Structure 1
Amino acid sequence: MAAKLHFSLVSPERELFSGDVDQVDAPGSEGDFGVLAGHAPFMTALKEGQVRVYDNGRIRTFNVRGGFADVTGEGLTILAEHAVEAAEA
């Protein structure tokens, strides 16, 4: 079984997602990026766009505006200025 990435997506209103997933794609200010388990640490600002969360063949999509993404040895945390699940938009 492949290693999982711990991912948290937080907006000022609430935590929208927290769990172990296969991959996350996000809209970085310098270009879109994807993160898998074991990714090298980095931090970047986010632009408006979609965060896609992949897990066991399922994809959840969140619309975000602004914020930061922080990749560490523990996983990926996105602190978004505004975020909603695409189905809620």
Structure 2
Amino acid sequence: MAGKLHFSLVSPERELFSGEVDQVDAPGAEGDFGVLAGHAPFMTTLKSGRVKVYDGGRIVAFDVEGGFADVTPEGLTVLAEKAVEAAV
């Protein structure tokens, strides 16, 4: 499905990322998952791991420690207990 996904990554300290992207991969507590534009809504807890954000040829990564992911018709929001930008 063509189109962009709105993605927002927020930690208790600040918003680390907000923008329109192609895909986001995240470490769900019940297994890793990927989200594209038009994904079915769901909510899950996150385990510690890496969130990868894909936009064209650019990849941005964040290491997260727990939190929640919420996929809605408006996009994906990750509320992380702790998150830092990581080298890809």
Fold in common (TM above 0.5): yes
The amino acid of 1:75's aligned partner reads G
Misfit runs of 4+, over 2 Å:
none
Identity, % of aligned pairs?
83
Q: Match for 1:86: what amino acid?
A: A
Question: 1:4: how far off?
Answer: 0.0
Report the counterpart of residue 47 of structure 1 in structure 2: 47
Aligned length: 86
| Aligned partner letter, 2:28 | G
Q: Unmatched 5+ residue regions in structure 2?
A: none
Q: Unpaired segments of 5 or more residues in structure 1?
A: none
Deviation at 1:70, TM superposition (A): 0.0
TM-score using structure 2 length: 0.96
Over aligned residue pairs, what C-alpha RMSD do you find?
Answer: 0.5
Q: Which position in structure 1 is the counterpart of 2:73?
A: 73
Cα distance, 1:20 vs structure 2:
0.2
Distance (Å, rounded) in 1 between the aligned partners of 2:74 and 2:26: 18
